[in-house]
Amino acid sequence: MADTARTAILFAVPGTSCPEAEVAFGNITEHARRRFPGTSIYWAYTSEGVRRRLSERGRHVDSPTQALEQIREEGITHLVLHPLHTVAGTEYEDLAASAAEFQQLTAGKTTVHVGMPLLLCRDEFIHTVRVLVSELCSQDNKDEALVLMAHGTQNKATAKTLCNAAKWCRELDTNVFMGTLIRPPLIDEVIEGCKLAGIKRAFLAPLMIVAGYTARCELAGQGDDTGNSWYRKLSETGVDCLPVIKGLGEYDRIVETWMDRIQPTIDAWTT
């Protein structure tokens, strides 16, 4: 690669309006800077709603289009656009379209590599779940479960991917249950599975990059409106629930997997 070339990574995430949850982004940035010294790091929030709420508080966060424009102005020649989305939903599709438009605008002067969401790679997803099990659960405790909450999606094709992911969890460990907030598998199916398995204790963890308000309120039952939280619903069945307020971006072994995925592209550009 020419000496004038400049590489960068743009991490695109749904985003969060929960300040406490941003520790995950800091951890990811730290890993990226340590693994790829000399590579510029950028961030963009794909959720328009999150960006709007932050703007109302006086804080600006770039959309993918805005971040790409900054990257073009700063003369980046090689860009890894790495999405930190669980599934290939609408926001991911819009992101891929923005990357294609950006490459056209730069008339080929910037090479762009777009990564994949977590659930498009079964092996990586299984590795992620293995890390969560090893970090959170006891060994050989048949009465203990790990319950994972994903956001879910209205897109039928993507929802099918989430159903497959729930099956992958059970294939890995019969005491790992995954549910979503929008379409099946929902919390009622998780509760039924826990009953059939005789679960007495469950760790409740978000299958999300950050542990934002969704994880804190709808999963863990924090805040004023806790009636429909997974914590309350499972607790009412007699399960001892232990919420884990920690996003995927806070687990070093999971973040390193994302860096491993980026590494070959950066290596190809810099060697």
Same-domain pairing of 136 and 238: yes
Number of independent structural domains in the chain? 2
Long-range contacts of 19-23 (CB under 8 A, 24+ apart): 20/211, 21/210, 21/211, 21/212, 21/213, 21/215, 21/247, 22/210, 23/250
Q: What is the pLDDT, as a whole number, of residue 3?
A: 47
Burial (CB count within 10 angstroms: exposed 0-12, middle 13-18, buried 19+), residue 35: middle
154 found inside a domain = yes
- Say whether both 135 and 177 belong to one domain: yes
> pLDDT tens, position by position, for the chain (271 residues)?
444 569 999 999 999 999 999 999 999 999 999 999 999 999 999 999 999 999 999 999 999 999 999 999 999 999 999 999 888 777 888 888 888 888 888 887 889 999 988 777 788 889 999 999 999 987 778 899 999 999 887 777 777 888 889 999 999 999 999 999 988 899 999 999 999 999 999 999 999 999 999 999 999 998 766 678 999 999 999 999 999 999 999 999 999 999 999 999 999 998 7
Q: Tell whether 159 and 219 lie within a shared domain.
A: yes
The predicted pLDDT at position 5 comes to 65
Host domain of residue 94: 7-117+250-270
| Neighbouring residues of 243: CB distance < 8 A, sequence distance ≥ 6 | 203, 204, 205, 219, 220, 221, 231
Residue 142 lies in a domain: yes
Euclidean distance between CA atoms 13 and 16, whole angstroms: 9
